Structure 1
Amino acid sequence: MSQNPGTEVLRYTAFSADPAGGNPAGVVLDASGLDDAAMLAVAAELGYSETAFVTGRTGPGDGGRPGEAGRTGPPAYTVRYFSPRAEVPFCGHATVATAVALAERDGPGDLLFLTAAGTVPVTVTRQGAGLRATLTSVEPRVVDITADDLAEALGALGWPAADLDPELPPRIAFAGARHLVLAAGSRERLADLDYDFARLEALMRRLDLTTVHLVWRASSRVFHVRDPFPVGGVVEDPATGAAAAAFGAYARTLGLVPDTAVLTLHQGEDMGRPGTLTVELRSGDTRVRVGGTGTRITG
């Protein structure tokens, strides 16, 4: 089935109130008439790192709007995510973008996104004149990476092992998608990103990685991050909510932060698209919350 000519593709940026900042995503609020090939074609034509497709709506009050009298729970939306090359199980910035788009249409409130990675609650609130969305990740996990795979990752990046921060050891973290977390020892190391696209892509496909999450610790709660994304056909992702959630799990698992903490991640500065991601950890809840503002891109 080819793309429906009537399909409305919206453009939003996530993790910034400035349309020129953050990470742009495509949003299709009614993708019920699109098959996989059509969704991939839309994502490829748009060219953003991901596009979100709302393929259905279920749950209490189906057909109604958030806040209507008699509702017993938040609306639940089935959401799928496509990069220009393939479907991905979950995407944080496209989740924020989609939630903001739904809130602009229906009003802020609580939502449930039914994704390939699991059920993701999202809350949208007003922040000044704009909207802010906070997602709650699926159950995260953190695992080791082998010495050989780490060496290959560093080789593809062109990073000497001596340039890593020894206090933030490499790990693979998951909170909806798998990300390799590598910590730079200096801001200069993080800023100098010139990697072997094909070599890193091959390793990431073998390890089922969505991005490589490169981190520099500015302080105990503030980090600067970058995310190479060759498996999506994109050199770098400007603001990566799924990786931020995975990093929150990483930081807690390694004891870098208390069980209850709020972390600030700055991303996109080196690309000229600055964005800010807030990562919240709560004691007694292993899931990770990631929040940020979003705004529509017009013109």
Structure 2
Amino acid sequence: MSTHTSPRKSPRKSPAAPSPLAVPGAKAEVLHYSAFTTDPAGGNPAGVVLDAEALDDDQMLAVAAQVGYSETAFVTALPDSRPGSSGTGPHPAARRYRLRYFSPLAEVAFCGHATIATAVALASRTGTGDLLFDTPVGEIKVGTTADGGPVRATLTSVPAHSRPAEDMHVEPVLRALRWSRDALDADLPPHIAFAGNDHLVLAVRSRAQLAALDYDFDALHDVMRQYGWTTVHLVNRAAPDRFDFHARDPFPVGGVVEDPATGAAAAAFGGYLRTLGLVTEPVRVHIRQGEDMGRPSDLYVDLRPDDARVRVTGQAVPITAPGE
């Protein structure tokens, strides 16, 4: 792993109450969740602010920087706009909210693991059911259920797709990863995949090579920023006839060495598999991520050949705020 210092902080295992963060002109109560896991020591931590009405952009960024996770989500309840309503209260039927995401460095258009964490936090407060999030990339529907255990959430992405990556995209990334072209899986060619934001997808033939990832943080950061990629989604397929993958997602443009679970990349990867023509009937894809960095995560991606939208399912559990 890169020796670059990551702003991510290590959560403890026991759940705790929201932590108050003071920012200039406002205070924010931050919930801490780990998404795509049932173990607080696994998954990808996210901050969730359920009452962000009083925060402006600079204050949201300041909160995200203080929290230090790859993303913190900010929720604003939208008023009831149905005919005959006063327009001053929340919409109880649709359970509709505005949702924005900030890394410690900048706003992010879409974040899957923070969406799952937010949905679980809202379900824990108001009960399970369907939620609608207005995000910078469009409307995201999330269904939540509970069967006596942690809440499970399924987000439906915007239409996902991908396009072949060119040599000018791939070669500098391979140099930053210290990989050769020969390491790549010829059956899964490099693509730029989209499901709200762009991710470069690179499939490697060797599981051991994926596990040994040690990349040049600054070099990869510069290439990703040049092309506007959110992560580089590195995958290894368990077997040619299976939809089981291991994944790693460097995230230097967010100030983080690596994400242990990346729902946005998983959704984009679903669009990639459809684009390649590998989805000829409804399938469920299992992505195991975070294992090589000690925070194992499980993401489940449901695909249909006749639907460009991708459904990503996972659980989330509360964790103790770092430093408490």
Q: Distance in 2 between matches of 1:189 and 1:261?
A: 27
1:199 aligns with 2:219: yes
**1:248 and 2:257 aligned:** no
Q: Deviations over 1:255-299 (max 9, x none)?
A: 233341100000010011101000001242210000001111136
1:226 maps to 2:270: no
Question: What are the residue-to-residue correspondences of 1:267-282 with 2, within 5 Å?
Answer: 267-282=289-304
Question: 2:76 is matched with which residue?
Answer: 55
Give the C-alpha shift of residue 149 in structure 1: 1.7
TM-score (norm 2): 0.87
After superposition, the C-alpha distances for 1:151-172 in whole angstroms (9 at most, x for unaligned) are 1110111111111111100000
Task: Kindly indicate whether the alpha-carbon contact (under 8 Å) linking 2:279 and 2:303 is maintained by their aligned counterparts in 1.
Answer: no
- The one-letter code sitting in structure 2 at the alignment partner of 1:31 is A
1:86 CA displacement: 0.4
TM-score by length of 1: 0.94
Question: What's the counterpart of residue 167 of structure 2?
Answer: 147
State the shift of 1:58 in Å. Answer: 3.6
In 2, are the aligned partners of 1:22 and 1:274 still within 8 Å (CA)? yes
User: Are 2:292 and 1:266 aligned?
Assistant: no
Match of 1:18 among 26, 39, 47: 39
Note if contact 2:109-2:135 (Cα within 8 Å) is conserved in structure 1.
yes
- Specify the code of the residue in structure 1 equivalent to 2:277: G
Shift of 1:106: 0.1
Amino acid at match of 2:67: L
Q: 2:79 and 2:173 mapped to 1: Cα distance?
A: 42
Per the alignment, residue 133 of structure 2 pairs with 113
C-alpha deviation, 1:83, in angstroms: 0.4
Q: Which moved more, 1:250-259 or 1:215-224?
A: 250-259
RMSD: 1.7
Residues 120, 270 of structure 1: CA spacing in aligned structure 2 closer, same or farther, 3 A cutoff?
same
2:67 is aligned with 1:42:
no
SS of alignment partner, residue 8 of structure 1: strand
Matched, 1:98 2:118: yes
Aligned to 1:158: 178
Q: Tell me the matched-pair count.
A: 293
In structure 2, stretches of 5+ residues that fail to align are 1-21
Identity %: 59
- How far residue 55 of structure 1 moved from its aligned partner, in angstroms, is 2.8
How far does residue 3 in structure 1 lie from its aligned partner after superposition? 4.1
> Secondary structure of the equivalent of 1:172?
strand
Q: Which shifted more, 52-61 or 113-122?
A: 52-61
